[in-house]
Amino acid sequence: MLYREVPKTGDKLSALGYGCMRFPKRMQSIDEKRAERQILHAMERGVNYYDTAYPYHGGKSEPFLGRVLSENGCRDRVKLATKLPHWMTASKEEMERMLDEQLAKLRTDRIDYYLIHALNGDPRSSGGRGGRYGGLDDQALDLAGQANDEGREARIVGPSGGLRMTGFPATIPPGTRVI
């Protein structure tokens, strides 16, 4: 497997990642045994980057991936990425609740790459709340640093898709690494 080093982190991620949006087909029932075999087979072949998100597969992707990694004792062998879909929240408090829920669903104490889904500064994607990057965008960026201060680990923060702004990053809390 070919690995690439992520700048500023030293992480060596497999050039091929495993996207967990579909297990195995979008919005159809998950053949859990097959999907688990696929995840473990990819890991045996050197894939060490697994990507999921709160809304993937109707909310079933995170708990499924968390179960597979936990029950097979392989969480420490992978870099786990998930996303904060901040448009599904109305406040920073709801974002905090969502982060806690994601950590629980994934059965982990840390998220290696916590990506802010559709961070784009478009007020429509953040409930029209304004602010330099759309209001909730700013709050989502602040959340990661605060979570780290409180012992919930969101190791590396970055945008995911739809990035149409200049000047990123916004004000990032000290101690939070941004890619």
CA distance 107 to 72: 12
Q: Which amino acid, 127?
A: G
Show me where the domains of the chain are located.
3-7+9-178
Angle between helix 61-71 and 92-105 (nearest 10) = 40
CA separation, residue 69 to residues 40, 72, 133, 168 (Å): 9, 5, 35, 33
CATH 3.20.20.60: does it fit domain 3-7+9-178?
A: no
Question: pTM score, two decimals?
Answer: 0.75
**100-148 pLDDT tens trace:** 899 999 999 888 888 876 655 444 444 444 444 445 555 666 665 565 5
